[in-house]
Chains A and B, each alone.
With several copies, the nearest count.
Chain A
């Protein structure tokens, strides 16, 4: 049953050290506000799951929140590398990072299997490439009708599913529209769920057959305006491409990165303060 609370309370109540956590949103609606709150509350040893890690995982990894990352494509879209992810994998900084690496098709199917309460997903995939050589969670099953061998991956059923959505109504029913990615699956397959939204409205009035999460499958709803920034929220604000571009230089250097997070994330109490802190300068300055 959806409880309305601050994002700080939602994270404190539902996310614990060592949890498996997914923060989904395919380019659209990436839950940056929630990711920052994980950093502020200094969570540790998380297994972080995202099909496309993006800057939010770069920040979490660089701040030492993650013991393991499950992913399929870890880059800064249209810009280049995720330098903090690379530094963790290449140089174990700030700590070693275990990785479980899939393809998009594998992870998309794994989220569906998770929402379906199945232990595994079946797909045509991982054919004739090296992914399964380095990931023993890519296996096979045999069709009991045709004898054909297919790929199998374990279902994604995280402790906590965190997403950002456009809006909720006063009961806590959530509407997502535009690119809906794997958000529905991330919530339905999770033990607990946190949804940040742009706003609360009196009536949700969803279009026919749109993506709605009823209040009784959501644990916490927190209003975080702009909570997907520098990603975007269709109908609210555009993707902040200069932020993504500016991030490259910030993340490239350990010290610049650390100063940036200390100043703008750890040095602020919530996402609106963070937004004020970086205002007017793309991703803001790194700080002294």
Chain B
């Protein structure tokens, strides 16, 4: 693969990374969010502050952690606090600008399910559960969600409301006194979605290069709408791509990953 080409995963990570402004204080979920947040740090946002729920504040890992508490996070952090302090003083305390989350299932109002598919007591699939997400989504200034788009993940109805997005839409969220703005961006391998002003229904605002509207609609479990103005996502720059690839290559070497 030449540097000019890029995969849909790379496009997703690059598009998500761009969302993070320099100096932003970001509460980072593991996996795709961590990949995107660190790409931001290694490119346009060197002063972004990455907080991981295990305790590291200001982590600057040179490889991608496999878990939320890898040693590299502690060793590269400005400080490491107890896990409860992260949730009590830093998140609930109101010091987080952006919560960066992944999700198993999302609905049109950006509500997230990471708990069960099927009924709670007799689930078809038992997912890992809430983790830090409910309170991150509640208390961070705003939330970015990064996830692959498909009919099993972008669903008409989630089976369990693990993490509140805009609930039934409109001002349902504010009415409950929830402080954080909620999921202001959902970044997928196909496009970028944002809540439509007023209704708060997710609409497509930016389409990744080479992706069609039909493909996006086919990968969505509800009757997806598009914003009045939809732009094409700028394709990854050579710097973004080479930085991401070098980061992932260092990671694979360090993890002895032969997958």
**A–B contact at 8 Å CB threshold (below):** yes
Chain A residues near B (Cβ < 8 Å): 1, 26-28, 51-52, 71-75, 77-79, 81-82, 85-86, 89-90, 101-105, 108-109, 111-112, 115-118, 123-131, 134, 173, 178-182, 184-185, 188-189, 204, 206, 208-212, 214, 216-217, 232, 234, 238-239, 241-242, 244-245
Decide: A234 and B67 in contact? CB cutoff 8 A: no
Query: Which residues on A sit within 8 Å (CB–CB) of B73?
Result: 179
Contact of B173 among A27, A128, A134 (CB under 8 A): A128
Complex CA gap A130/B95 in Å reads 26
Tell whether A77 pairs with B130 under 8 Å between CB atoms, given A125-B138, A179-B56, A179-B80.
no
Number of A-B contacts (CB under 8 A): 224
Complex CA gap A37/B49 in Å reads 33
Query: Which residues on B sit within 8 Å (CB–CB) of A26?
Result: 54-55, 68-69, 83
User: Closest 7 A-B residue pairs measured CB to CB?
Assistant: A27-B69, A75-B128, A73-B131, A212-B79, A78-B66, A77-B67, A108-B84
- Least distance between A82 CB and chain B CB atoms (Å): 8
Q: Chain A binding site: helix, strand, loop or mixed by DSSP?
A: loop
Contact of A117 among B56, B92, B131 (CB under 8 A): B92
Q: Judge whether B91 is part of the interface by a CB distance below 8 angstroms.
A: yes
Query: Which residues on A sit within 8 Å (CB–CB) of B67?
Result: 27, 77-78, 239, 244
Q: How large is the interface on B (under 10, 10 to 19, 20 to 34, 35 or more residues)?
A: 35 or more
Complex CA gap A234/B115 in Å reads 31
Q: Chain B binding site: helix, strand, loop or mixed by DSSP?
A: loop
Decide: B129 and A129 in contact? CB cutoff 8 A: no
Tell whether A241 pairs with B84 under 8 Å between CB atoms, given A173-B78, A214-B49.
no
Complex CA gap A241/B135 in Å reads 29
Contact of B75 among A52, A206, A234, A245 (CB under 8 A): A234
- Least distance between B53 CB and chain A CB atoms (Å): 6
Contact of A214 among B69, B79, B121, B178 (CB under 8 A): B79
Complex CA gap A86/B115 in Å reads 11
Query: Which residues on B sit within 8 Å (CB–CB) of A129?
Result: 130, 134, 161-164
Q: Judge whether B247 is part of the interface by a CB distance below 8 angstroms.
A: no
Closest to A87 in B: B126
Segment of B10-18, B218-226, B251-259 engaged in the interface with chain A = B251-259
Q: Judge whether B58 is part of the interface by a CB distance below 8 angstroms.
A: yes
Closest to A240 in B: B256
